[in-house]
Every structure is written in structure tokens, then in C-alpha cells.
Amino acid sequence: MSTREKMNIGELYTDMGEGLPEERRDGKERVYDYNLTRPSEEEQRQQLLKAIMGSLGKSCWIEPPLRVAYGTHIHIGNHFYANFNLTVVDDATVTIGDNVMFAPNVTLATAGHPIDPEIRATGQQFSLPIVIEDNVWLGTGVMVNPGVTIGRNSVVGAGSVVTKSIPANVVATGVPCRVMRPITAADRETFMK
């Protein structure tokens, strides 16, 4: 099995062959250029985002600075917004749906390292995909760990560390993140008065 095949299924691998160091460097070069654009260079930013990401939908905006491991393993739907300091460790695939919003300092990390110190000392790691479904909002400083799916319409509160998948249509928060309550009609009424 190739390293690239191992990168999405949780198998241990080292990412120093198969062109991976070059791919990471190329992604970081594109992100460097993106982060140096002026606020008025909106068209250039959009072109660079399309070059950085594996796929990018319509009406997407990411406030610089942005950090990625590769960039090419990130797939973003339509109408996405990320505020400052988005970090995506995309060794495995990261899929972000439509109408998703990220507050500042969100981190999505698909990669992890073995707990056993002898195995960890070998430089091996593992990765699992992350999925953020449609209409999700991640609050400031949310961290999402490998293998997590956040269900459609859900809201994850500021400062949460998401270690397990979150179902659809809930508010979740905490360290570790857990479901606090469902999203209800009362949430609509609060802002529709």
C-alpha cells in the first residue's frame, strides 16, 4: 500500500517520499503568496485560493493569514467564510460543505501521532478525514481532531476541542466538545422579533 493510500485510512506512515515533501512545499508557497496579498487584491486572492485548494465552490472567502499542510486535500463547497488564522493540517481529505462559517483561529487537523513513545520516535503518523457538513458554524478557537464529522446545521462553541463526531442540528461546546442541546424554533424566534 502506498503512503498516499495510507494517508486517509488511519494507517501509520511517514510522509517523506512519493513527492509529498515537494507537494507540501508547493502548497506552502501558494499560501505564502496568498497571505501577502493586499485587501484590495480580491481577484488575485480568489485565483490563489483556487490554486491552493483541491476544489473551491462559489463565493468563498478566507481572511489571511491561512495555513495549510498541502491545500490540495481540502475541498470547499459554496458560500464559505473563514475569519483570520484558519489552519488546516490536510494530510487526509478535508471536506467542507455549503454555507459554512468559521470564526477566527479555527484549526482542522487530520494528522495525529502515536501515543506510544517508541513508535512516535520513528516519525510515523496517522491521518483520518474530517468532514464539516452544510450550514455549520465553528466558533473562535475551535479545534477539530482527525476523523471527526460535524453534522449539518450544527454550531460548535468557541474554544471547543472536537474529539468525536457531532450530529446534525445541535449546539455543542466544551473540552472535550459534547452536545449541549438541539437547535430549536426558539433559536429562530430570538432574532426574528
Q: Which residues are catalytic?
A: 113
CA 36 to chain centre: 21
Task: Give CA torsion, residues 163, 169, 174, 175, to 10 deg.
Answer: 0
Q: Which single residue is written with the C-alpha cell 513527492? A: 19
Q: What is the DSSP string of 17-57?
A: STTHHHHHHHHHHHHHHHHTS-TT-HHHHHHHHHHHSSEE-
CA distance 157 to 181: 12
CA distance 25 to 103: 27
CA distance 151 to 163: 14
